Amino acid sequence: MRIEVITTGTELLLGSTMNTHGAFFGQELMKMGLRVQRQLTVPDGEAIHSALKDSLTSSDVIIVTGGLGPTSDDLTREACADVLGLDLILDEAALRSMKAFFQSREKPMGDVNKKQAYAPIGCDVLQNPNGTAPGVYVPPRQGGGCAIFLLPGPPRELYPMFHEEVVPRLKALSGVEVIPDVLEMKFVGVGESELQEGIDAQLEAIEGFEHGYCARMGECDLRLIGDAGQLAQARDIALQKYGKYFVNDQGQPLEQTLVETLAAHHLTLTTVESCTGGLIASRITDVPGSSAVFTHGYVTYANQAKVEMVGVSQADLDEHGAVSEQVARQMAEGALERSGSDLAIAVTGIAGPDGGSAEKPTGTVFMAFARKGQPTEVKHECHPRNRKDFKTAVAQAVLSKVLRHVTGR
């Protein structure tokens, strides 16, 4: 099934808004075993007209976003009717829903909004409980053999409508009975090229099975698509070689897996951050339920804070410097004691752009890991990147270190 996506919106071409719809549709369709063959972005206004005309000849399904609003620039509905030679008629139910939407928000409905309740004759109006613009479904018999979805642009309106209204129709159209399963295996600590080199040939050998890699700062996802047997086989291949780096197979963030794992082991963790400045604590507390495993976080940015907040020795700061094994160790051990947590991690490093030296260049970091009753481990790494990437890389390294410790990998 040839699927094309047309996103409309001048802001997308001006670059003031990132076009995230392309990735959304790609990911959602892939879960159904479908692919986008082409994605086109055009400005508001007349351009949708020729874009639709072009796509009609080259695709079986067209998904359009945007241009369903009330203003004079919103022409998707009109262009679609025009290209197909269909009349627009008022949908009374859609009009009632829109009126109810405005009433529930105690706002008057403008006359301009009325045009949003029109749809090409013989088409379905798609309910939009999250906004004023209903969507439109043009079935193939009305679309010259091509099925067309007109959907609103704002994600909070688009995503629910896609799941409620588009997915069931696409399943029916594509005749896919068994939707393939998807696993998103996340790995931290191994690069995309190493992962690919290590397992790609074996995965390629699985018949009728798809896989792909997606590298991000400090992690790599392996996406597996197939039936249950193929997924189990592929998962085993990946885990056999790279199990040490495995985080989860549901595409969840590293911090979520860490929080769940700590909770399952009834362990608490404290953080002492210099160079990451609170990023590690923030990522942990992004996870719902993190209060079960995280109670105290220290951002000891200045030397004095390292002394006052977690009891680092001033003499060692003077002798070894803030970015040193000794200080990292004392930060972790001091926080462990003061917070009463079971585990502590501490980081001290040089995020740059200034502050580096020949001996300790920008990117240098010491990471300490302390656990009650066990010797503290300190690791030295160098991540010569820009400041924000440095923070991210250090946070990844620390969070995955704790995860590996707790899971015994």
Helices (H), 143-248: 155-161, 167-174, 192-204, 228-242
CA distances from 373 to 255, 273, 282, 376, 404 (A): 25, 22, 27, 9, 18
Instruction: Identify which of residues 271 and 326 has a Cβ nearer to its own copies in the complex.
Output: 271
Contacts of 152 (CB under 8 A, 6+ apart): 65, 66, 68, 69, 128, 131, 133, 135, 158, 161
User: Is the distance from CB of 403 to CB of 254 less than 8 angstroms?
Assistant: yes
User: Is the distance from CB of 36 to CB of 3 less than 8 angstroms?
Assistant: yes
By the rule CB under 8 A, 304 interacts with its own copies: yes
Contacts of its own copies in 94-153 (CB under 8 A)? none
By the rule CB under 8 A, 284 interacts with its own copies: yes
Among the listed residues 271, 330, 364, 396, the single contact to its own copies using CB under 8 A: 271
Amino acid at 30: M
By the rule CB under 8 A, 375 interacts with its own copies: no
| Binding track over 229-268 against its own copies, x by CB under 8 A | ----------------------------------------
Among the listed residues 299, 320, 381, 405, the single contact to its own copies using CB under 8 A: 299
Contacts of its own copies in 326-345 (CB under 8 A)? 338-340
Among the listed residues 46, 92, 227, 286, the single contact to its own copies using CB under 8 A: 286
Exposure string over 162-196, b if 16+ CB within 10 A, otherwise e: beebbbebbeebbeeeeebebbbbbbbbbebeebb
By the rule CB under 8 A, 391 interacts with its own copies: yes
CA 191-227-201 angle, to 5 degrees, is 40
Residues recorded for the chain: 409
* Residue 326, both tokens: 């000794």
Among the listed residues 66, 131, 143, 297, the single contact to its own copies using CB under 8 A: 297
By the rule CB under 8 A, 41 interacts with its own copies: yes
Q: Number of residues in contact with its own copies, rule: CB under 8 A?
A: 74
Instruction: Identify which of residues 138 and 322 has a Cβ nearer to its own copies in the complex.
Output: 322
* Pairing status of strand 269-273 against strand 36-42: unpaired
- Residue span binding its own copies (CB under 8 A) among the ranges 135-143, 198-206, 236-244, 283-291: 283-291
Give the position of tokens 């796509």: 55
Contacts of its own copies in 15-34 (CB under 8 A)? 15-20, 22-28, 30
Minimum CB separation from its own copies for residue 315, in Å?
20
CA 116-117-122 angle, to 5 degrees, is 120
Among the listed residues 40, 62, 83, 367, the single contact to its own copies using CB under 8 A: 40
Rounded distance, CA 257 to CA 370, Å?
20
By the rule CB under 8 A, 277 interacts with its own copies: yes
Among the listed residues 74, 157, 219, 273, the single contact to its own copies using CB under 8 A: 273
Rounded distance, CA 388 to CA 279, Å?
10
Among the listed residues 33, 82, 159, 213, the single contact to its own copies using CB under 8 A: 213
By the rule CB under 8 A, 214 interacts with its own copies: yes
Among the listed residues 96, 105, 388, 409, the single contact to its own copies using CB under 8 A: 388
